[in-house]
């Protein structure tokens, strides 16, 4: 009888323990879901060094929507993606703002915004998201294939570069930047459309072809089809792998700031969590890891890099302060006109 009682007690305790465990599992808060729309590059780095730590700290599951700027923005336009946070270049982010696709942000939830470069804090207005990285649009060239060093934007118009360069198409992110370059080369202090297009006609004999994606530039450069061209610095490491002697220059007139922004999508039911995520992206820890891994150029001013670590990325107040910045609202307002004119007058 005593043995039977002991067995009964053990079984009862086991059942009570199991029930308690089940109750705890039931009561434990399920992870929230944060849908992040972003590019697909360096996904392993972001998953391990950025998303995973944020997930663990905030009990959240990050779901990715991967694609290029245009495709991902179109999904938001059409309502075919339930996105909370979206990473876009400033060119495309301005379109989203103009179309009312983003929430205004509460900067009190993003204290790290006070620790980033001034031009990154509100590139498209105080109501919208910051730039989490700033790259540079400059010139890359193969010194073995040109008669003299390239130091200026106007050098791309030189006679010795006939049939040796590529330029970005007008519909690419860098297209409006190069149109602005043409206006500056013409001698105009303010953007002048007519003078810009006249200069573009003059450079055409030097152009092998336009590129729409940077991978096209890299391939042409690697295969020796081109000797030079305007390109974003973040891709220079790919050029150097193919042509170790390649050089990247910030033209004497100034390179252009290429800002990638992060915004909260209109209608998100995770707005506060999304703002915490933006704050995390801007933290010194994340920015430093990204910079040292040559993934993104940092905007957090507390990030300190050695000369070697800073190679190939846009780094330092002195460098960033000299970059030229386009008015993206003006660009988007005029882009259709420019595209139509480009296709009529310059398409090869």
Query: pLDDT (tens digit, 9 = 90+) per residue, 158-205?
Result: 999 999 999 999 998 899 999 999 999 999 989 999 999 999 999 999
Residue-wise pLDDT tens digits, 267-293: 999 999 999 999 999 999 999 999 999
Nearest to 341 by CA among 217, 92, 185, 171: 171
**pLDDT for 157:** 98
CA dist., res. 215 & res. 116, Å (int):
30
Nearest to 108 by CA among 268, 282, 276, 303: 276
Report yes or no: 294 and 237 within 8 Å, Cβ to Cβ: yes
Architecture of domain 32-134+259-315: 3-Layer(aba) Sandwich (3.40)
**Three-state secondary-structure class, residue 273:** helix
**CA distances from residue 332 to 169, 176, 259, 320 in whole angstroms, order as listed:** 15, 9, 15, 24
Confidence of residue 25 (pLDDT cuts 50, 70, 90): very low
DSSP labels, 296-337: S---BTT----TTTTTTS--SHHHHHT-B---HHHHHHHHHH
CA dist., res. 314 & res. 139, Å (int):
14
Give the pair of three-digit tokens for residue 309.
């670590």
- Mean pLDDT to the nearest integer, 253-278: 96
Superfamily of domain 135-256+328-345: Periplasmic binding protein-like II (3.40.190.10)
Core vs surface per residue 207-238: b (16+ CB within 10 A) or e: bbebbeebebbbebbeeeebbbbbbbbbbbeb
Core vs surface per residue 296-310: b (16+ CB within 10 A) or e: bbbbbbebebeeebb
Using the predicted structure, report yes or no on whether residue 348 has a pLDDT greater than 80: no
List CB contacts of 283: < 8 A, sequence separation 6 or more.
Answer: 112, 300
Phi and psi (nearest 5°) for 259?
-105, 125
DSSP labels, 132-148: EEEEEEEEEE-GGGSSS
CA dist., res. 147 & res. 161, Å (int):
9
CA dist., res. 276 & res. 113, Å (int):
11
Residue-wise pLDDT tens digits, 51-104: 999 999 999 999 999 999 999 999 999 988 899 999 999 999 999 999 999 999
List CB contacts of 137: < 8 A, sequence separation 6 or more.
Answer: 174, 177, 230, 231, 232, 233, 255, 256, 257, 258
**pLDDT for 4:** 45
- Give the residues across from 134 on adjacent strands: 259
CA dist., res. 88 & res. 261, Å (int):
5
Residue-wise pLDDT tens digits, 201-253: 999 999 999 999 889 999 999 999 999 999 999 889 889 999 999 999 999 99
Mean pLDDT, rounded, of the chain: 91
For the chain, residues classed under CATH 3.40.190.10 are: 32-134+259-315, 135-256+328-345
């Amino acid at each position: 009888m005593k043995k039977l009682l002991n067995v009964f007690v053990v079984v009862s305790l086991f059942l009570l323990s199991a029930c308690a465990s089940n109750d705890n599992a039931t009561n434990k808060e399920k992870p929230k879901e944060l849908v992040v729309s972003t590019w697909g590059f360096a996904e392993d780095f972001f998953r391990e060094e950025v998303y995973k730590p944020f997930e663990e700290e905030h009990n959240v599951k990050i779901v990715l929507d991967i694609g290029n700027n245009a495709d991902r923005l179109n999904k938001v336009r059409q309502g075919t993606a339930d996105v909370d946070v979206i990473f876009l270049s400033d060119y495309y982010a301005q379109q989203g703002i103009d179309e009312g696709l983003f929430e205004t942000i509460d900067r009190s939830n993003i204290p790290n915004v006070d620790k980033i470069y001034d031009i990154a804090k509100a590139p498209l207005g105080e109501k919208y998201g910051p730039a989490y990285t700033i790259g540079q649009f400059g010139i890359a060239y193969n010194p073995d294939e040109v008669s003299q060093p390239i130091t200026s934007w106007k050098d791309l118009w030189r006679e010795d570069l006939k049939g040796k360069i590529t330029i970005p198409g007008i519909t690419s992110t860098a297209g409006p930047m190069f149109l602005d370059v043409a206006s500056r080369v013409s001698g105009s202090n303010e953007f002048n459309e007519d003078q810009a297009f006249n200069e573009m006609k003059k450079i055409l004999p030097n152009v092998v072809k336009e590129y729409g994606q940077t991978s096209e530039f890299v391939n042409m450069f690697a295969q020796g089809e081109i000797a030079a061209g305007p390109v974003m610095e973040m891709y220079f490491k790919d050029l150097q792998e193919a042509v170790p002697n390649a050089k990247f220059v910030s033209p004497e007139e100034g390179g252009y700031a290429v800002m990638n922004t992060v915004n909260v999508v209109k209608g998100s039911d995770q707005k506060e969590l999304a703002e915490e995520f933006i704050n995390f992206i801007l933290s010194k820890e994340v920015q430093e890891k990204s910079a040292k891994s040559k993934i993104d150029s940092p905007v957090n001013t507390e990030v300190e890099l050695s000369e070697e670590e800073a190679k190939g990325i846009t780094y330092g107040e002195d460098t960033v302060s000299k970059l030229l910045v386009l008015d993206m609202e003006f660009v988007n307002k005029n882009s259709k006109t420019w595209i139509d004119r480009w296709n009529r007058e310059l398409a090869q």
